Amino acid sequence: MLYFRLTGWHAVRIVGACIVVLILFAAPTPKSPRSALDQGTYSPSSLRASSGSSYVPPWQNAEPVVENAKLFVSEKSASPQSSPPAAPKTLASDAQPPPPPPPPPPPTFSAPAITDAVADKQPVKNVVLPTTDKRSPITIFLMNIPRYHYEVVLPVLRAFSSLPSVNVTLIGGASGYTRFGVGPLLERESKPYPLQLVDERFISPKLGTPDLLFLTSCPEDIVKANKTISKWLEAGTRVQCIAHEPSKWDARSKGNSQYAEQIKYMVPWIEKGQWEIVVLAPHVQSYVQKHFPTFLGTGEKVVYKAPVIHPVFKANAVDIEVDFVEPFGAIPGKYEPWRRNYDRVFQQYAQVRPQVKLHLVGSGDNLTVPETIQNRIIYVRDLTFPEYFEHLGKSVAMIPAFGSAAYIENQASSTVATALIVGTPLLVNSTIAKAYSHIPEDAMWLQKRGQTEMDTFGDISFLPVHLWAEKKARVVEVRDKMIAANLEFFESVAQNISDSKFTSTKSTKSTKGTKPTKSAKSTKSAQASQASETVDNKVVPTAVK
């Protein structure tokens, strides 16, 4: 007897899979042992065993650098010499307006200060930046102190590391940067430079003054680091910070925001134009623009035009293909019923009985699953970040199953970001599609009017497999555009900072003799002239729609 029941449907799928695989990918036909699936759970090891692809994800070869909490700044660290890596690719640096002469000398990155033990394993390179780059070098501190939000740190790190003349240092807490195998990914997204990581315990003005401080967990980072951040601000550092849950930013006394203290801390700097709010999705941008003048008490003084950063990056060097043999849809994330409405999805699933299984890829205790579909709902638990992304990348559809309206009104869903990261289409209704209007509708599975999520999922399960692959390819295309948009945005931020550094240096030098020219207006005088006017909360024109 066959190991599994070979239904006509399976036969169609397998033939389809072979054709698609042969024609499109010329990769070995995936084979899929079913034992792990039949048991209803995956452990990370059985996941690896059941992955039939010949593709070896990059992190399996990567030296884990951030494997423990030992990376931190030490005063005396060696800096072994070695040849510089290839110049990082830059977007549009040629397209910039001609930079003002004279060019500063080619900047050189000194070795990041790390412990000897780590230095032995991973010799740190002296990175010489491309001499063609005429910008002043820019120092950026990327801070994320809580253990979460590393999926947002990664794309921002990628963008900063891709820019010429930018020296980026990640400041984080050990509970975050050692978690779930994120270390090798951080290292990968730092390329072509080695990851420069400073533990939160060493936050102090001694680290130097960054030109830009980017906070990926805004109020939480302030709680831990406000004394040093104040010093940096006074020294002229610009800050960008992500508002993840702006509904919690109502700092008025009746607003009861748990972050009222941190928000009041930001306000004077926001009013000065030195502190900028950024967001992760268009609907959040609208919410911030509408509510922050009252929430933060800045009234008409500040106009919030929070630029949208896309919290997406490439999960793998080679994008993962749908598992055609054992196809599944996925609901990612912790099994928390207040975030996702599992009951609704399970009930619909039991009614529709789609041909494709559902994987709950996350962590937590078993949920209540109706008896009739228990063998169709599969728990895939406790994966590392790379395993998580790899598994989700094989799914036919990603189902947000929102259990709260917040994800459509004022909060960017990490499920949406994850779908883009792994290149899997989201299954959404028109309301969700509208909130995430930066994702074109043809890169999603759209519920038809009157359909439930699982009605649509059922329809998808009967589509010819080449349509699954085509939709997935479209998601990948959109994702790559977003990564380029991030880069473009931060490129313009860096250019702006570089310009103002240059002009302020020049105007300082010129105060004795000649009058400063108009174009060489110092940042200080620019700020002073703005003091009584409306401030756009926007460091640079946004490159992202």
Ligand X SMILES: *[C@@H]1O[C@H](CO)[C@@H](O)[C@H](O)[C@H]1NC(C)=O
Binding residues for ligand X, rule: CB under 6 A, are: 40-41, 107-110, 113, 139, 167, 169, 196, 207-208, 222-223, 226, 261-262, 265, 273, 366, 374, 379, 402, 405, 408, 429-432, 496, 526, 539-541
Q: Which is nearer to ligand X, 262 or 486 (CB)?
A: 262
Q: Which is nearer to ligand X, 17 or 239 (CB)?
A: 239
- Smallest distance from the beta carbon of 416 to ligand X, in angstroms? 12
Q: Which is nearer to ligand X, 169 or 411 (CB)?
A: 169
| Residues ≥6 apart with Cβ < 8 Å to 493 | 212, 240, 539, 540
240 forms beta bridges with 214, 276
- Smallest distance from the beta carbon of 222 to ligand X, in angstroms? 5
Q: Which is nearer to ligand X, 109 or 295 (CB)?
A: 109
Spatial separation of the C-alpha atoms in residues 282 and 288, rounded to whole Å: 10
Task: Tell which residue, 210, 216, 115, has the closest CA to residue 172.
Answer: 216
Report the residue closest to ligand X, judged by CB: 40
Distances (CA, A) of 21 to 87, 165, 322, 324: 36, 42, 10, 9
- Smallest distance from the beta carbon of 141 to ligand X, in angstroms? 7
Which amino acid type is present at position 449?
Answer: R
Spatial separation of the C-alpha atoms in residues 394 and 401, rounded to whole Å: 19
- Smallest distance from the beta carbon of 197 to ligand X, in angstroms? 10
Spatial separation of the C-alpha atoms in residues 121 and 124, rounded to whole Å: 9
Q: Which is nearer to ligand X, 526 or 531 (CB)?
A: 526
212 forms beta bridges with 140, 238
- Smallest distance from the beta carbon of 18 to ligand X, in angstroms? 31
Which amino acid type is present at position 296?
Answer: L
Spatial separation of the C-alpha atoms in residues 34 and 162, rounded to whole Å: 42
Whether 503 and 520 have beta carbons less than 8 Å apart is answered as yes
DSSP string, 292-331: HHHHTT-GGGEEE-PPBPP----SSSSPPPP-SSS-EEEE
Q: Which is nearer to ligand X, 276 or 321 (CB)?
A: 276
Q: Which is nearer to ligand X, 169 or 418 (CB)?
A: 169
- Smallest distance from the beta carbon of 215 to ligand X, in angstroms? 12
- Smallest distance from the beta carbon of 62 to ligand X, in angstroms? 23
